[in-house]
Structure 1
Amino acid sequence: MARPREFDEGAVLDAAVHCFWSRGYEATSVRDLIESTGLTGASIYNAFGDKRAFYRKALAHYVQESIADRIRRCEGMEPRAAIGAFFAEILKRSLSDPDHKGCMLVNAALEVAPHDTEFNDEVAGVLALIEAFFLGRVAAGQADGTITATLAAEDLARHLLGVLMGVRVLARVRPERAMLEGVISGAFALLDGGADRAA
């Protein structure tokens, strides 16, 4: 019979997320994880596997606690307000991070996914989830008249995904309010039909 774990898995994963997120996958050592989580190397291996498996578990925890949670909270709002709230939270997180860590998912996409097919598929799946959220809100907004219908909902959703990725990368090197707000406001002008008026 397996012994019950003598630690809070959620707290350990939170610590692992912070460690991997701050240092990056390659630069994080098992010793760093031991110091961050308070577990022994043997306990980490028995509970989570090797470093790669632990990173995979930490990334999934990050996605559930951050990205999936944000989508759940925003899905119940009016379409245009949902997209606004989503980006408002991204802006707040980007500007309030003194370490300029960016987004752990985006970091994984740049550092790990290009060299690891399994991680590539997982990151792509989360990006598809975000895109689906944008698509659902855009389509609903086009139906109720709060978002322009002159552009395909699919194209607007993809554009919003691209803006999100750009904001999170910019936040790592230029976490300036005017810069990030400018990128986001351009996307909202497109949702509101700004491109049509300019044309």
Structure 2
Amino acid sequence: MGRRREFDVDKALEAALAVFWQKGYEGSSFEDLTRATGVARPGLYSAFGNKRALFLKALDRYDAKYMTYLGEALAEPRIRDVIRRFFEGAIEVQTLGGHARGCAVVNGALACSDATEPIRQELIARQAETEHAWRARLERAVQEGELPPTTNCEMLATYIMAVNQGLGVQAKSGVPKAVLCAIADHVLATWPASLAEVEAEPRALPN
């Protein structure tokens, strides 16, 4: 029989996530991880595998625990509410507990060097999945008449991701939550009009 683990795996994973969230993958040493989890290196290896495996498990936990707002936002029936709820959720997580946390995925991607390219590619792949979900939701909004048929959904999805990543960087650098919310409000204020709104606009009289 194997030895029974003498630590709470779930709590250790949460502690490891906090380290990676703050420092990124490359900036987090095993000493940081053992100190935060209270688990010696052999125990971490036994429970999670190497540092890369631990990081990926921590990211899975981040998605499951802190990214639930994404699915909730995409399920909103109106596209403006989708956008509003998404940015509200993102900003709440990025400033959780009043701390300058930023986005764990963005933090990790920005802190990767050539030596950790596989990790960066994993983070990019996760962001691509989110962008794909956005494109699908925007295409639905076009079909339902909430966005004009000429809307470039691929570019608009990229724009949303770029704004969110920018919010994450700003949050990590300590920009106040109120300012982040103002940025999100500006995005909503400049959001494309619905097809009905476009058709309702007064037309110029011919000369």
* TM-score bracket for this pair, using the shorter chain length: 0.7 to 0.9
Aligned-pair identity in percent equals 28
Unaligned runs of at least 5 residues, structure 2 = 202-207
How far did 1:104 drift? 1.0
Aligned to 1:14: 14
Q: Secondary structure of the equivalent of 1:100?
A: coil
Is contact 1:94–1:175 with CA below 8 Å preserved after alignment?
Answer: no
Q: Secondary structure of the equivalent of 1:116?
A: helix
- Distance in 2, Cα, partners of 1:56 & 1:102: 18
- Distance in 1, Cα, partners of 2:115 & 2:8: 32
Alignment of 1:147 with 2:147, yes or no, is yes
Aligned to 1:179: 179
The structure-2 alpha-carbon separation of the partners of 1:95 and 1:31, relative to structure 1 and needing over 3 Å to count, comes to closer
Aligned to 2:69: 70
How far did 1:6 drift? 4.5
- Distance in 1, Cα, partners of 2:5 & 2:138: 44
Which structure's CA Rg is the greater one? Answer: 2
Aligned to 1:188: 188
- Distance in 2, Cα, partners of 1:179 & 1:89: 15
Is contact 1:71–1:133 with CA below 8 Å preserved after alignment?
Answer: no
Aligned residue-pair number: 195
Superposed CA deviations along residues 26-72 of structure 1, whole A, max 9, x for unmatched, are 443323322321222211122223333322332232233323x3333
Aligned to 1:55: 55
- Distance in 2, Cα, partners of 1:62 & 1:168: 15
AA partner of residue 132 (structure 1): H
Is contact 1:24–1:107 with CA below 8 Å preserved after alignment?
Answer: yes
Unaligned runs of at least 5 residues, structure 1 = none
Aligned to 2:204: none
- TM normalised by structure 1 equals 0.82
Superposed CA deviations along residues 95-121 of structure 1, whole A, max 9, x for unmatched, are 444331211100111012654232122
How far did 1:13 drift? 0.9
Aligned to 1:36: 36
Superposed CA deviations along residues 120-141 of structure 1, whole A, max 9, x for unmatched, are 2211111111112211221222
Q: Secondary structure of the equivalent of 1:59?
A: helix
How far did 1:92 drift? 2.3
Aligned to 1:131: 131
Is contact 2:24–2:107 with CA below 8 Å preserved after alignment?
Answer: yes
How far did 1:9 drift? 2.6
RMSD over aligned Cα atoms: 2.7
The structure-2 alpha-carbon separation of the partners of 1:5 and 1:162, relative to structure 1 and needing over 3 Å to count, comes to same
- TM normalised by structure 2 equals 0.79
- Distance in 1, Cα, partners of 2:77 & 2:117: 37
- Distance in 1, Cα, partners of 2:173 & 2:28: 21
